[in-house]
Amino acid sequence: MPLLINDMTVKSNEDYERRRNKQVAGMRSVLDYAMGTVIIFVGIFLLVRHRFDLALNKRFPPDTIDLLLGALFVVYGSWRIYRGYRKNYFK
């Protein structure tokens, strides 16, 4: 009889871990979508900020570094969104 109780406890622990991992994966996926979107918007802003008449542009004129960082942010934000779509966190 103790084996049966121990086996039931192991199965319930496995079910709990599976449910917890699914919830954590869902929350991390939402976080990846949100952060990826924010990072992409920052990257797009850095890429196109020279087209706008902003006080920031007068104080810190856009240069090549802005374009490189903007492109890097867009690539990294896209990767974050892809990672949230893939949901491959515990493998």
47 Cα distance to chain centroid: 21
Task: Return the sign of the alpha-carbon dihedral for residues 75, 81, 83, 85.
Answer: negative
Measured CA to CA, the distance from residue 63 to residue 59 in angstroms comes to 12
Threshold 0.85, pTM exceeds? no
Could you read off the pLDDT of 51-91 as tens digits, one per residue? 989 898 888 899 999 999 999 999 999 999 999 998 887 76
Contact 47, 71 (CB under 8 A): yes
Interatomic CA distance for residues 35 and 83, integer angstroms: 11
Task: For residues 76 and 79, give the distance between their C-alpha atoms in angstroms, rounded to a whole number.
Answer: 5
Q: What is the pLDDT of residues 6-58, one digit of tens each?
A: 556 767 888 888 888 888 888 999 999 999 999 999 999 999 999 989 898 88
CB count in 10 Å sphere of residue 87: 14
Q: Give the pLDDT score at 1.
A: 47
